[in-house]
Amino acid sequence: MAGTAVLLIGHGSQLQTAAEDMYRVMDDLKRSGRWDIVEAAFLEITPPSIPEGIERCINQGAGRVVIVPYFLHLGKHVLRDLPRIIEEAGRRHPGIQIGLGGHLGYDPRLALIVEERAEQALAAMDTAVG
């Protein structure tokens, strides 16, 4: 039976460290053991490209590839670019199921993270003053 892959999609950047947090999430997903294959790919600049990421998943035995955009905002990349790239990939790999999950977007848990970051900043400010 073919495996299921999760392919995290980042924007890409010239800054080498820009994707470190996404790679940490990818490693967490791998450790969870829920998915047969977990990979990452990028829309632009940073390798591997999305088509290369899909190929990596298929080469590891994926019969299904779930693409999850690691994007907070619903912009042109999520609305237009990713669906187009996935449609093209589906034509290149007719025997493989390729689906697009929702972008990260809004989640009430994000407010908790923002509060935590604000508290950390306040604590650093208090330490600097004191």
How confident is the model over 11-36, as pLDDT tens digits?
Answer: 999 998 999 999 999 999 999 999 99
pLDDT of 120 above 70? yes
Whether residue 43 is contained in a domain is answered as: yes
* CATH code of the domain covering residue 93: 3.40.50.1400
93: annotated active-site residue: no
pLDDT at position 114: 95
pLDDT of 103 above 80? yes
pLDDT at position 130: 64
Comparing CA positions, the residue from 3, 23, 28, 2 lying closest to residue 12 is: 23
Out of 11, 73, 93, 103, the active site residue is 11
- Containing structural domain, residue 72: 3-105
> How many domains is the chain partitioned into structurally?
1
Whether residue 46 is contained in a domain is answered as: yes
Name the CA radius of gyration of the chain, rounded. Answer: 17
Contact criterion met (CB below 8 Å) for 50 and 9: yes
pLDDT of 52 above 90? yes
